Structure 1
Amino acid sequence: MTLARVPRTMRAAVRTLPALLLAAALAACSSPPSHFYTLSAGDASPDAVRSASNPAFLIEVPPVDVPPQVAKSQLVVQTGPTQVQVLEQERWASLPGDEIRRALSSSLTQQLGTIDVYGSPYPERVPVYRISVNVQRFESWPGSRTLIDAVWSVRAVRTQAVLTCRSVVSEPVSGSYDAIADGHRRAVQQISTEIGAAVRNLAAVPTRGAAVTCPGSTTGPAAAPASASATKG
């Protein structure tokens, strides 16, 4: 039986294949790790959970709208007035709109001693306030600032009284990405404080014939009285 002779170039390729595979594996192992950030401040305190067992009113926090250019898992940072950079290794734990909604829900339920019933059935007799948030700017400037510009509304589900306001919050930050996440976290917390004040004000007025204005740190028209017609949202 005659054995075919393997060309020298093929023998050399076979000998170097294990080394190439090892080099590829090492390269994969040495690729930069990803870092994940969240806007949630942490779990609710036991006192806040207990106070929400029999709330005077409920809230609904629907999904939050954010600009399309930042609606992605990667952090998007500003490098100039018209330039951004998408950071592949620096990522949000979930999409920014989800992060903002979760942080707002957690903060508001603790502030107001209530429950977020979005997507869940709730008793007919309990007042419900729907909180809608549209983020128009969500900017990250490393070594400078973070900025959230949001238009939000609080609507009494039963009476359709609605208060629409705008919050613009800028927070100074250092050059680290942890600082950027923390700056946005502080901004969301401030916005939630303003929304919480609006919910309290709307819940405190008589059910008909009264108007409520936005908190002092925000801008917007007075709330439509409960007896006025309102566009459903």
Structure 2
Amino acid sequence: MKNKTHTVQLSKWMFVSSVFFLGITGCTTSVSPNYYTLAPRVLPMQDAKLRVIEVLPVNLPDRLNRVAIMVNTEQGKSTILNNDRWTSSLAVELHDSLSSGLQQQLNAVDRYSSGISSTNTVYRIAVDFSRFDIIQSSSPQQGTQVEVEVSWVIKPLEPIQINKQAVHRIVNCRMTFNQTVANKDMIPDMVNASKQALYRITSSISDTVLSVEKGSYQVNTAVCS
């Protein structure tokens, strides 16, 4: 009888231990995060003329500079999506994507990352984001938008010249716009809208460099001075 009682008690202990172990295992199991990038697709360069640019690290408010994607409401509530993340901090994502996009559009090489020297004019580009916010509206008609407020400075660095004359001047530009999130208003849609917004910025900065190169200093999509 004693052995039977001992066996029953041992069985109960093993059952309780198993349930406890499963409970602990269930508590510690985490969902694998989803990772997204703003990097554009890079195509082979065709033009023989190679420009040199220098894209400096971007300025971004501390509240935005995180790895987790952040979604805001019109009322100011912010939701940090820890399971939906950029592949690096947002500031690095923006910088690297701008650099890649500008190299592609301008047929250029970024000497900030490559360290190459140049005997041609180098276009130093400083970009400052005041806003790059994903905003969910309470109105179904308006939907979710990426709200952007950005400015940039193009500073041509002239090579050493015999006559010591600078060909170009520094240009300051800024633009503000909203990029609508299309389709299902899901995280991939928000990422795609962010890419579209960044492409618009990259194209405007590219147009600024081309304008500076021609000496016109006029960009249709931005206000420049």
State TM-score, norm by structure 1.
0.78
Equivalent position of 1:157 in the other structure: 157
- Post-superposition offset of 1:123: 3.0
- Post-superposition offset of 1:51: 3.8
State TM-score, norm by structure 2.
0.80
1:173 aligns with 2:171: no
Please identify, of 101-110 and 17-26, the stretch whose mean Cα deviation from structure 2 is larger.
17-26
Output the aligned Cα RMSD: 2.5
Q: In structure 2, how many angstroms separate the alpha carbons of the residues matched to 1:217 and 1:36?
A: 31
1:216 aligns with 2:224: no
Q: Deviations over 1:141-177 (max 9, x none)?
A: 2442111210111110224721110021311114211
Aligned residue pairs total 203
Q: In structure 1, how many angstroms separate the alpha carbons of the residues matched to 2:190 and 2:102?
A: 22
8 Å contact from structure 2 (residues 52, 118) kept in 1: no
Q: In structure 1, how many angstroms separate the alpha carbons of the residues matched to 2:224 and 2:157?
A: 20
Q: In structure 2, how many angstroms separate the alpha carbons of the residues matched to 1:90 and 1:123?
A: 39
Q: Deviations over 1:173-228 (max 9, x none)?
A: 142111111111101101111111110111123xxxxxx4341221132xxxxxxx
Q: In structure 1, how many angstroms separate the alpha carbons of the residues matched to 2:113 and 2:58?
A: 14
Q: In structure 1, how many angstroms separate the alpha carbons of the residues matched to 2:34 and 2:113?
A: 31
Please identify, of 131-140 and 76-85, the stretch whose mean Cα deviation from structure 2 is larger.
76-85
Q: Deviations over 1:73-126 (max 9, x none)?
A: 111111233221111111111111111111111111111111111144333412
1:45 paired residue among 29, 40, 43: 43
Structure 1 stretches lacking a partner, 5+ long: 1-5, 206-211, 222-233
Identity of aligned residues (%): 23
Q: In structure 1, how many angstroms separate the alpha carbons of the residues matched to 2:223 and 2:174?
A: 5
Structure 2 stretches lacking a partner, 5+ long: 1-5, 137-142, 159-165
- Post-superposition offset of 1:13: 5.9
Q: In structure 1, how many angstroms separate the alpha carbons of the residues matched to 2:11 and 2:218?
A: 79
User: AA paired with 1:45?
Assistant: L
User: AA paired with 2:83?
Assistant: Q
1:185 paired residue among 182, 186, 195: 195
Query: Are the structure 2 counterparts of residues 122 and 14 from structure 1 closer, same or farther at C-alpha, using a change threshold of 3 Å?
Result: same
- Post-superposition offset of 1:128: 0.4
Query: Are the structure 2 counterparts of residues 152 and 214 from structure 1 closer, same or farther at C-alpha, using a change threshold of 3 Å?
Result: farther
User: AA paired with 1:148?
Assistant: V
Equivalent position of 2:131 in the other structure: 137
Please identify, of 80-89 and 12-21, the stretch whose mean Cα deviation from structure 2 is larger.
12-21
Q: 1:13-162, aligned counterparts within 5 Å?
A: 16-29=16-29, 31-42=30-41, 44-46=42-44, 48=45, 51=47, 55=50, 57-142=51-136, 143-158=143-158, 159=166, 161-162=169-170
8 Å contact from structure 2 (residues 179, 194) kept in 1: yes
8 Å contact from structure 1 (residues 133, 153) kept in 2: yes
Q: In structure 1, how many angstroms separate the alpha carbons of the residues matched to 2:26 and 2:76?
A: 38
8 Å contact from structure 1 (residues 213, 220) kept in 2: yes
Normalized per residue, the structure richer in strand is 2
SS of the counterpart of 1:194? helix
SS of the counterpart of 1:181? helix
